[in-house]
Each structure stands twice: as structure tokens, then as C-alpha cells.
């Protein structure tokens, strides 16, 4: 398996596990504390800021561990760099990001529907988070698809 596919699979798995773990922590373990606040804008603002911080720090740490593990596992025979990108890699990256941006844009417009129908602001945030997660997952899925095509 090529390094780019391994990175995409690793990113896909870590995204799903981190998002699922964070949601389980907030709504599963501390659900009795956070469910009454779910309709408040302050809750959703802090939820998204904490989620962004957790995801960024965890992804950095996990990718460092991925690089260390890969270097220890394949040190003599592996000459492929983790950050090397040729034209094909750049084209695949652009295609997957373009598709991911389309999903994000559809999600943004879909998140305005609950607001325009008079529902609470929490439905807008739930829709935005859902489409953001789907967009991140689909970006990695498209990378895997384009590399195996």
C-alpha cells in the first residue's frame, strides 16, 4: 500500500475515532451535565472550540506517532518520504479537496434551512458539525478511491 493511501486511511480512522470519542465523552459520559445546555448558543460555541482544539492536538500527536512507527517498521527498505508529493499526488489532493469543499458548502446551506423554518439554533450547529464530519471523511475516502483508481 502506498504511503499516500496509508496516510489517508490513518486520517480517516483517526477522524472517526476522535469525533466519536469526543461525542461520547460530551453526550455519553457527561450527558446529564450537557444535555440541558444543548439549546444554548454558548454551549455550541464552546463545544466547537473544544472540538477543534482536541482534534488539532490529537491529529498532530497521532501523525507524529504514525511517522515514528512507520520509520521503525520500514527503516532500511523504505525510501518514500511522508511529505513527498508528485504531480499525481497533487492532482488527487486537489480533486478530493474540491469534492470535500462541495460537501461543506452544501452543508452550510443545509444548516440555514432549520433557521429559516424557525427551529432553534442548535439544529444549525448539529447540521454544520454533521456535514463538516462527512466532508472530512469523504475527503479521505476520495483520496483512497483516486489512488486505487
Give all strands (DSSP E) within the chain, no chain letters.
Answer: none
Q: How many angstroms separate the CA atoms of 108 and 103, rounded?
A: 9
pTM for the predicted model, two decimal places? 0.82
Q: pLDDT value at position 31?
A: 73
Q: For the chain, give every domain's residue range.
A: 3-79+86-148
Q: Percent of the chain beyond pLDDT 70? A: 90
Give the tens place of pLDDT for each residue, 69-100. 888 887 655 555 666 778 888 999 999 999 99
The sign of the dihedral angle between the CA atoms of 58, 124, 126, 33 is: positive
Residue 49: C-alpha distances to residues 78, 129, 133, 147 (Å): 38, 12, 15, 33
- In the chain, the largest separation of any two C-alpha atoms, in whole Å, equals 62
Give the tens place of pLDDT for each residue, 20-29. 999 998 888 8
Amino acid at each position: 500500500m502506498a504511503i499516500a493511501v496509508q496516510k489517508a486511511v490513518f486520517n480517516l480512522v483517526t477522524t472517526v475515532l476522535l469525533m466519536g470519542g469526543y461525542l461520547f465523552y460530551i453526550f455519553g459520559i457527561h450527558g446529564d451535565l450537557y444535555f440541558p445546555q444543548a439549546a444554548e448558543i454558548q454551549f455550541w460555541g464552546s463545544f466547537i472550540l473544544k472540538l477543534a482544539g482536541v482534534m488539532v492536538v490529537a491529529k498532530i500527536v497521532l501523525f507524529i506517532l504514525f511517522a515514528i512507527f512507520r520509520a521503525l517498521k520500514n527503516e532500511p527498505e523504505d525510501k518514500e518520504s511522508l511529505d513527498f508529493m508528485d504531480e499525481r499526488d497533487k492532482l488527487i489532493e486537489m480533486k478530493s479537496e474540491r469534492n470535500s469543499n462541495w460537501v461543506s458548502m452544501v452543508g452550510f446551506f443545509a444548516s440555514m434551512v432549520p433557521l429559516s423554518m424557525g427551529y432553534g439554533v442548535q439544529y444549525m450547529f448539529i447540521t454544520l458539525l454533521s456535514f463538516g464530519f462527512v466532508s472530512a471523511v469523504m475527503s479521505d475516502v476520495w483520496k483512497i478511491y483516486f489512488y486505487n483508481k
